[in-house]
Amino acid sequence: MIDNKEFEENYEINSPVFTRQMAREYTILLPTMLPIHFRFFEKALIACGYKTRLLNNHDDIIRTEGLKYVHNDTCYPALLVIGQFINALDNMSKEETHKVALLITQTGGGCRASNYIHLLRKALIKAHYEYVPVISLNAKGLDKKSGFRITYPLIKRLAAAMTYGDMLMYMRNKVISYEAHKGDSDNIVNKYVDKIGEEFLHNKGVSFRDLKKNINAIAQDFDKVEIIDTVKPRVGIVGEIYIKYSALGNNHLEDFLINEGAEISVPGLYGFLFYSCYNTIYDRKLYKISLLKTNLTRILIKYLERRENLMIKAIKKTKYTPMNSFDKTKDYSRGVLSHGTKMGEGWLLTAEMVELVETGYKNIVCAQPFGCLPNHICGKGVMKKIKSIYPDANIVAIDYDPSATKVNQENRIKLMLAMSRETLDSEVKH
Ligand code: SF4
């Protein structure tokens, strides 16, 4: 049995490396986080030659599995991601487990998200899967031995996948609460995930021209959905990145709010990437980091801005209001939280809350995982200040952890919705 401390320490150094040969033969398992985006990411990896499978195991057992292998005072997202991986391995034959690798993101920042990979490796030892290689997806070259290569074609496909994901998520949230025929919005999402996924395999759907064509088509399809003319409470969802987006992490928060008769807005993944880029620019101002790194980041910002602009322009041609450009979003935290606050979601969380209030989503659920200090500071910690600037902001912080009951969380959100309905008449349509 392999579980002693000495082995664990050596294992960190000698953990199985994902080799070039494995890249051809193994299936890479992806944990779920953003329901639409990750379907595109899966297709992007397949198009680059990797056998890939997106996990969709969502049972309560994942929490129990996580608790078995991760200390219960660790960040809740780590507990869920690791629980989901171990549960997936448990449901395979022994032979199959020898032909899979696990992919996990590593931010490389000061937060604990950089260490999830080590927690996962430790959990694999405990669960007797120490032979399963773990791939780190990071932008900082943290895993130099890996046979998983972040190549230019892969980066281009992932960027396209993120653009499609953000566009579909934004439009779906705008329309789904008003659709006259239930399922119309989800049908459009499924149509484009299949169509563009197929295009990726044929080296299409990635160029700027193809993106423009597809993004415009998505906007037009949503614009044609028949909607019911009514006014609903508008609710924004913010928080730690995993708990904000993952239905597994937030107990299907989006579905719950839609079923309760609200229109929801969830800031896109573009925001998080821009936030990471701008942190490099601010680090240059504050700590004088390398000018070369700053200049490369500026090029990346321009690349992303061109694609963000595609979405904004396409939505402007419909009856719906487009998202703000991040260039505007980033300034919303001014006067509330400094741009030097960048652990976890840092100033982005504050900026997103202020932006939501400014754009008519005065009701906000701030989803906070257990064990997350930075987001409690940049979320819960700034609510009083935001409410002092916007007295009609109706913000509620909801804690998510393995022992928090869904009923309790939902009751608090229902209370927030009840308060929002009192002021509903003054809400603006669409
Ligand atoms: S942001 Fe919070 S939950 Fe995420 S790694 Fe950091 S401390 Fe953990």
**Per-residue confidence (pLDDT) for residue 1, from 0 to 100:** 47
C-alpha 344 – ligand 1 centre gap (Å):
6
C-alpha 371 – ligand 1 centre gap (Å):
7
C-alpha 72 – ligand 1 centre gap (Å):
14
Pocket flag, ligand 1, residue 113 (CB < 6 Å): yes
Total H helices, total E strands in the chain: 19, 8
Pocket flag, ligand 1, residue 375 (CB < 6 Å): yes
DSSP characters over 213-242: HHHHHHHHHHHTS-B------EEEEEESHH
Residue 60 CA: distances (Å) to CA of 53, 77, 413? 21, 14, 21
CB environment 72-108: b (16+ within 10 A), e (fewer): eebbbbbbbbbbbbbbbbeeeeeeebeebbbbbbbbe
* Domain parsing of the chain, residue ranges: 5-149, 231-268+323-425
The third-level CATH classification (topology) of the domain covering 231-268+323-425 is Rossmann fold (3.40.50)
Q: Which atom of ligand 1 is nearest to the CA of 114?
A: 5
Report the relative pairing of strands 363-369 and 51-54 from DSSP bridges.
unpaired
CB 234 within 8 A of CB 361: yes
Q: Name the residue of 80, 372, 399 whose CB sits within 8 Å of the most ligand 1 atoms, as the mutation to test its pocket.
A: 372
Question: Which of the 8 DSSP states describes residue 378?
Answer: I
Beta bridge partners of 137: 105
Q: Which atom of ligand 1 is nearest to the CA of 77?
A: 3
Q: Name the residue of 240, 343, 399 whose CB sits within 8 Å of the most ligand 1 atoms, as the mutation to test its pocket.
A: 240
CB environment 129-155: b (16+ within 10 A), e (fewer): bbebbbbbbbeeeebeebbbeeeeebe
CB environment 317-331: b (16+ within 10 A), e (fewer): ebeeebbbebeebbe
Q: Measured between alpha carbons, how far is 425 from 430 in angstroms, rounded to an integer?
A: 14
Pocket flag, ligand 1, residue 75 (CB < 6 Å): yes
**Per-residue confidence (pLDDT) for residue 79, from 0 to 100:** 94
Q: Which amino acid is at 31?
A: P
Residue 188 phi/psi, 5° resolution?
Answer: -65, -45
Query: Which residue shows structure tokens 């953990």?
Result: 15
Per-residue pLDDT of the chain (430 residues; tens, 9 = 90+): 455 566 566 656 668 999 999 999 999 999 989 999 999 999 999 999 999 999 988 778 999 999 999 988 889 999 999 999 999 999 999 999 999 999 998 776 777 777 888 899 999 999 999 999 999 887 766 666 778 888 999 999 999 999 999 999 999 999 999 999 999 999 999 999 999 999 999 999 999 999 999 999 999 999 999 999 999 999 999 999 999 999 999 999 999 999 999 999 999 999 999 999 999 999 888 888 888 989 999 999 999 999 999 999 999 999 999 999 999 999 999 999 999 999 889 999 999 999 999 999 999 999 999 778 889 999 999 999 999 999 999 999 999 998 888 999 999 999 999 999 887 755 554 4
- Please enumerate in sequence order all residues whose Cβ is within 8 A of that of 189, keeping only pairs 6 or more positions apart, or say none: 36, 168, 172
Query: Cα(first)–Cα(last) distance of the chain, in Å?
Result: 60
Pocket flag, ligand 1, residue 112 (CB < 6 Å): yes
Query: Which residue shows structure tokens 């700590």?
Result: 287
Q: Measured between alpha carbons, how far is 231 from 428 in angstroms, rounded to an integer?
A: 8
Beta bridge partners of 278: none
CB 332 within 8 A of CB 386: no
Report the relative pairing of strands 51-54 and 100-105 from DSSP bridges.
unpaired
Beta bridge partners of 249: none
C-alpha 374 – ligand 1 centre gap (Å):
7
Q: Name the residue of 112, 117, 366 whose CB sits within 8 Å of the most ligand 1 atoms, as the mutation to test its pocket.
A: 112
C-alpha 241 – ligand 1 centre gap (Å):
9
**Per-residue confidence (pLDDT) for residue 11, from 0 to 100:** 59
User: Of the candidates 354, 326, 391, which has an alpha carbon nearest to the alpha carbon of residue 238?
Assistant: 354
Q: Measured between alpha carbons, how far is 184 from 19 in angstroms, rounded to an integer?
A: 44
Residue 383 CA: distances (Å) to CA of 220, 354, 379, 387, 424? 37, 10, 7, 6, 22
CB 413 within 8 A of CB 396: yes
C-alpha 368 – ligand 1 centre gap (Å):
9
